[in-house]
Structure 1
Amino acid sequence: MATTTSTSPHPSAEEGPKASNMRSLSRALEVFAELQRAERPQRLSDLARNCGMSLPTTLRILRVLQDFGMVSQTDKSYRIGPAVLPAARSFLENDPLVVAARPILQQVASQTGLTASLYTRLGFERILVARVDGEVPLRYDLPLGKRLPLTVGAAGKILLASSSDDELQQVVAAAVAGGHEEPGLTAAALRSRLPEPGAEYAYSADERATGVLSVAVAVPSRPGRRPSESISLTSPVEAANEETLRAGVPELRRAAGRLSELLEGSVY
């Protein structure tokens, strides 16, 4: 008589705890990411609502993060804790992208007189990972590690130039949820802001910050992969104009190509 082997629809005793642990870790990282995005300390109720979790679950996660110094509490609000500083220092000192980019950005800033910045894409956002100031300081303080939308600013738009409609819809949803865009934004409207697929650069004026001009190029990636980093030149309007920014594109392209060569063979 033939026998058949069936697979139980229920996870084994070993798989159950592992899956539960991974869900707990995922939720903890989601809460931690929400605190990173916040411009100010967050109340428990706001964190729970923004993360789509119950108050008890959010509170348990915050207490665990507090135990590891990743989160600090003042009165009834929570913020990022001091334990992130050693992690940030380790990243800035050891990350291949940052280490390779520093001298390249210094050269670009020196030759153009403009502020040179490097961004990396993280999900539906971009993060400033390195910057060298130009001759004229910018009007605003943009600290390293700042999460920014992909939907505005040359450095974000160049990374979306070849995106599909489905991806743009996801980007729009994330930008709206993060408060970076109005709820009425559509994927088609976002597409109209972007450079054409295959364009050498993206340009922006008065987009993320008033009175600021920027131009950016994507850092070439491995064949078959889309770029996830971009280099930009930025200036206040009183120190440059559109023609000045566009004149810096060849230097940006050389810098991006050099950075790509230095990163060849690394995880990037």
Structure 2
Amino acid sequence: MTVSSTHSASSAEDGPKAANMRSLSRALEVFAELQRAERPQRLSDLARTCGMSLPTTLRILRVLQDFGMVSQTDKTYRVGPAVLPAARSFLENDPLVVAARPILQQVATQTARTASLYTRLGFERILVARVDGDSPLRYDLPLGKRLPLTVGAAGKILLVSASPEELQQVALAASASGHEDAEFTADDLRARLPLPGEDFAYSADERATGVLSVAVAVPNRTGRPSESIALTSPVETATEAELKASVPELRRAAGRLSELLMGSVY
């Protein structure tokens, strides 16, 4: 009787906690979808993309609005101003960003290419630091932009050691988020990855037309890197051979960054 009573009490306590965690997970999913969107989103579009009912999605949006995480104009929703203090705190205090800035500056100066640092977030990657090279790129890529792992050298290099099961998950997630078409498969993804034995990835016209990029992973103690450093150049100012010639400098930069991060949570 005592065991049964204790178990029942525990289950009663776990119920509300589990429900609260589900609610939090749903709210973060809606918020992440607003971050991916290129323009303000309608309630119906958010509900459909997130697989939630209209009332549930609306309740989540109203809570996020109360905290300034979401703003509304007419019938559309977008990320709100409360993200700016959070972003500022991250950029000023995160060990990865602080350690990477002078390293990226040195690489950009030595190679005359744009140097960028990406970190993996689930099945996507995010630009967390960038130093422009001598030749401006043809597109604007703001810090914090969510990008796929499936295209671009900086994303593909993070999947080199992925298992077949993980590649399948990445391919499905890329299709679900709109980064790839619905027919995209793990085999399609595998065909894009570096050849066995290569420790760098190269891309041309993959994520943006007229842009070449090469990237290496930043080593970490787990053996499964979650950051990458990339050099990017407009096609008219560099060739594939010239960009790949910078791989040794990228390796040195990634090694220096890894050493600096050894004493941190990274």
TM-score, normalization: structure 1? 0.95
Q: Distance in 2 between matches of 1:89 and 1:267?
A: 19
Flag the 1:8–1:193 CA change in 2: closer, same or farther, 3 A.
Answer: same
Q: Which residue of 1 aligns with 2:109?
A: 110
Q: Which residue of 2 aligns with 1:246?
A: 244
Q: Which residue of 2 aligns with 1:140?
A: 139
SS at match of 1:12: helix
Consecutive unaligned residues in structure 1, runs of 5 or more: none
Q: Distance in 2 between matches of 1:228 and 1:12?
A: 37
Flag the 1:204–1:10 CA change in 2: closer, same or farther, 3 A.
Answer: farther
* TM-aligned CA deviation for residue 9 of structure 1: 7.3
2:223 aligns with one of 219, 222, 225: 225
Q: Distance in 1 between matches of 2:64 and 2:183?
A: 36
Q: Which residue of 2 aligns with 1:176?
A: 175
Mapped pair 1:235 → 2:233: yes
Q: Distance in 2 between matches of 1:10 and 1:33?
A: 35
What is the root-mean-square deviation of aligned Cα atoms in Å?
A: 1.5
What residue identity is the alignment partner of 1:145? G
Q: Which residue of 2 aligns with 1:209?
A: 208
Q: Distance in 2 between matches of 1:122 and 1:77?
A: 26
Contact 1:162 1:198 in 2 (8 A): no
* TM-aligned CA deviation for residue 196 of structure 1: 3.0
Tell me the alpha carbon deviations over residues 8-59 of structure 1, each in whole angstroms, 9 at most, x when there is no partner: 5785332222111111111111110010011000000111111111111110
What residue identity is the alignment partner of 1:34? E
Flag the 1:44–1:264 CA change in 2: closer, same or farther, 3 A.
Answer: same
Q: Which residue of 2 aligns with 1:86?
A: 85
What residue identity is the alignment partner of 2:102? P
Contact 1:162 1:197 in 2 (8 A): no
Q: Distance in 2 between matches of 1:77 and 1:4?
A: 54
Contact 1:115 1:135 in 2 (8 A): yes
Q: How many residue pairs align between the two structures?
A: 265
What residue identity is the alignment partner of 1:194? L
TM-score, normalization: structure 2? 0.96
Q: Distance in 1 between matches of 2:8 and 2:43?
A: 37
* TM-aligned CA deviation for residue 265 of structure 1: 2.0
Tell me the alpha carbon deviations over residues 136-169 of structure 1, each in whole angstroms, 9 at most, x when there is no partner: 0000000000000000100000000111111111
Q: Distance in 2 between matches of 1:18 and 1:181?
A: 36
Flag the 1:208–1:10 CA change in 2: closer, same or farther, 3 A.
Answer: farther
Q: Distance in 1 between matches of 2:10 and 2:179?
A: 41
* TM-aligned CA deviation for residue 181 of structure 1: 1.0
* Structure richer in helix, relative to its length: 2
